[in-house]
Structure 1
C-alpha cells in the first residue's frame, strides 16, 4: 500500500488521501503489539501502513496511521472481546433466573444468548449507541419483530430487527462492528449473527443490557 492513495470524492474525480502520519502516537507501543509489528515505540512507514489499513477497515477517521486514542480504544475493545472466550458472563452480570435471555455488555461491546447459566449462542461483537444516543441499560423484553424492517427515522434497512426498548432493536448492518462512534441506539450486528438471534429469540423474550460503552 502506498503512503497516499487516490480516493473518490463527492462531485466526481479523485483526491489524494491524507498523508501517512509518521509521528509516533501516544499508544504507539500498544498498537504495534496488537498489529504484530516490532515493538519499539517508533513510527515507521510500515507501522503507519499497518495502522492505516486497520483504521480503514473499521471506518476510523482520519485514516492516517496515527496510533491515537480512538484507534487504541478500538483495539482494546477487541482484546476484551477475545478474552471473553466461551464464558462471557463469568462475572455473573446477566440474570440466570429468567430462562432464555439475550445479554448485551456495553463495556465490551459483546452480546450472547444464554438459557439460565448455559451459553446458547455467542458471544458476538456488537455496535451500540454513541454519546447522545446511548443504548439504554436494564431489563427489557422483545415486543416487536420485523424481518425486513425499514427505518423511517434514518432511511435505512434494518434486517432481522427485534425491538426491545422503544425504537431500539437488534438488527443487521453492513458496517464494521468496530466503526466509531456507534449507532443511534440500536444494537447493530453482523448479518449472520442477527439472523441467528432471529431464529433463537421471539416476542416476549428477555433482554438485559448493562455496562457503559467506552467513549460515551
Structure 2
C-alpha cells in the first residue's frame, strides 16, 4: 500500500506541474494567433474601424481588425493592418462616397434606356433608365486577377432562375448572363470577400432578386473600370 501511495503522490505532483504549463501554452498559442505588429496601414485601418488613431497596434486593435477580416473572409485572419485589408476598406469608402449618384462622372451610358451599370473600380452596380437611377447602387463582387469581368457594352441574353454551374459545381440563383458565361447572380459570401469571382458579378440574394425582377433579355449592360488588384 505504501508503494502505491508513493506512486500516486508522484503522479499527482507531475499532473500539478503539467496543468499550469498547458494553460500557459494555451494562452501563448491564443495570443500568437493575433499579429501584434503595427501594420503599414495602421492609422487608416484604425480610423475606418473607429479606433483611437495612434498608429500603434494594440490587443484591442488586433481584435477589431480580426473581426473585420473574419466577417469578409480576408486571410490570413490575424488582425494585421496590411495592404489587402486596407484595399477592402478603401473600396468600402469609395462605395459610401458614391451615395445616390453613382454615375456622377457619366461613365455609364444614359442614352440606351434601361441599363445595368457595373463599375469595377468601386465594385458597384446599379440600374438606370436613361439618366434616372432606378435601383442601387449596390456592392458587387467581380472577377479576380486572371478571371476578370470583361469590360464594354453587353446585353443580357439568357436568364435562369437557378442555374447549376458545371465549372464550379455550385448553384447560381437569379442568373442573368450577359457575356460568354459571365452573369449577374447571387452568392452567400460577403461582397468584399477577396480575391473575387470567376468572372461573374456576384450580388447579395436581395439585390440579385431585384435585378431579376427589373431586367429582361435584351437589356443593356455596361461594364467599365478596373478592379483593384487585377
Which TM-score applies when normalising by structure 2? 0.87
Compute the displacement of 1:19 (Å).
Answer: 1.1
User: Which residue of 79, 101, 110 maps to 2:93?
Assistant: 79
Mapping of residues 161-172 of structure 1, within 5 Å:
161-172=175-186
Looking at structure 1, the residues matched to 75 and 154 of structure 2 have their Cα atoms a distance apart, in angstroms, of 34
Aligned match for 2:58, one of 27, 30, 44: 44
Counterpart selection for 1:194 from 174, 184, 208: 208
Correspondence for 1:155: 169
**1:133-144 paired onto structure 2 within 5 Å:** 133-144=147-158
Shift of 1:16: 6.8
RMSD: 1.4
Secondary structure of residue in 2 paired with 1:63: coil
Q: Using the alignment, how far apart are the partners of 2:170 and 2:218 within structure 1?
A: 26
Q: Distance in 2 between matches of 1:19 and 1:183?
A: 28
* Change beyond 3 A, Cα 1:100–1:34: same
Paired position in structure 2 for 1:55: 69
What residue in structure 2 maps to residue 102 of structure 1? 116
2:129 matched residue in structure 1: 115
Q: Residue by residue, what CA displacement relative to the aligned partner does 1:110-141 show, whole Å, maximum 9, x if unpaired?
A: 00000001000000000000000000000000
Query: What is the alpha-carbon distance in structure 1 between the residues aligned to residue 219 and residue 86 of structure 2?
Result: 36
Residues in 2 aligned to 1:148 and 1:118: alpha-carbon distance in whole angstroms: 30
Secondary structure at 1:177's aligned position in 2?
coil
Distance 2:75 2:105 in 1: 34
Counterparts of 2:131 and 2:32, CA distance in 1: 49
Q: Distance in 2 between matches of 1:26 and 1:118?
A: 41
Per-residue displacement from partner, 1:164-207 (whole Å, max 9, x unpaired)? 00010000000000000000000000000000000000000000
Could you tell me how far apart the structure 2 residues matched to 1:17 and 1:56 are? 17
Q: Residues 40-88 of structure 1, C-alpha deviation per residue, up to 9 Å, x if partnerless?
A: 0000000000000000000000000000000000000000000000000
Partner of 2:35: 21
- Name stretches of at least 5 consecutive residues in structure 1 with no aligned partner: 6-14
Given the alignment of the two structures, is residue 177 of structure 1 paired with residue 187 of structure 2, yes or no? no
TM-score by length of 1: 0.92
C-alpha separation between the residues in 2 aligned to 1:113 and 1:189? 13
Greater helix content? 2
Matched, 1:208 2:201: no
